[in-house]
Structure 1
C-alpha cells in the first residue's frame, strides 16, 4: 500500500490517507480480505501521528470499506458489502455522466452510446 501526503493539498492529512486507501480498494490494488498495515505502522511509514491514521481508519470503517478486529487489525470488506457496493455504483454513475456529456458534445445518439457500452461489456 502506497500513501503519498501532499502539503499542498486542501484536504487534511487524515482525509488524504482515507481517500488514497479508498481509491486503492475501489481500483483493486488492495483486495477484499487483505489486512491493512497497523495504525502505528502506517503512521510511521507516512510520517504522521497515530491519531491521524486512527481517524483515517475510523472513517473508512464508518464508510464500510474496512472492519477492525481486535488482535487482527483492519481488514478490507467484501465488495458485496452494501455500502461498498453503493460507492462502486456512485463511481459508475459519475463515469457514465462524463461519457454521456462527451457524447452529446459531439452529437452522438443514445443508441450509439449503448452500442459502445455493449461492445465494452462484451470484451471480457
Structure 2
C-alpha cells in the first residue's frame, strides 16, 4: 500500500492518510489481519509528524477499521460488508448535502444539478448500476 500526502489539497494530512487507508481496506487491498506500518515508520516515510500519524491511526481505530495491539502494532480489522455499505452511504449523503448547499448558493436548478452529476459520472465517476 502506498500513501501519498499533499499540503496543497486543503485536506488535513491526517485525513488524507485515513482516507487512503480506508479506501485500501474497502477495496480489499488491505485484508483483515494485515499489519500496518508503525506510527513512527509511517511518519518517517511520509516525512511528517508522529502526532499526525497518531491522529490518523486513532481515528481509524475509533471508526472500527483497525485495532491497535499495544507493543505489537496496528492491524486491519475484518469489515462487515453491510456496515461498510452504511458507512459509504453516509459519506455519499454528506457529500451530496454539501453539493446541494453549494448549489443553493449558486442558484442552480435541479435540472442543472442532474446534468452536472450525469457529466461527472460520464467523465469517470461511474457507479456499478
Same fold by TM-score greater than 0.5:
yes
**SS of corresponding position for 2:68:** strand
Q: How does 1:78-117 map to 2 (within 5 A)?
A: 78-80=78-80, 85-91=82-88, 94=92
**SS in structure 2 of the partner of residue 75 of structure 1:** strand
> TM-score if structure 1 supplies the norm length?
0.68
The two structures, once aligned, show a CA RMSD in angstroms of 2.5
Whether the 8 Å CA contact 1:26–1:88 is kept in 2: the answer is no
Aligned twin of 1:97: none
- For this pair of structures, how many residues does the alignment match? 97
Q: CA deviation at 1:86?
A: 2.0
In the alignment, structure 1 segments of 5+ residues that lack a partner are 95-100, 106-115, 118-124
In the superposition, the TM-score normalised over structure 2's length comes to 0.66
Compute the displacement of 1:85 (Å).
Answer: 4.2
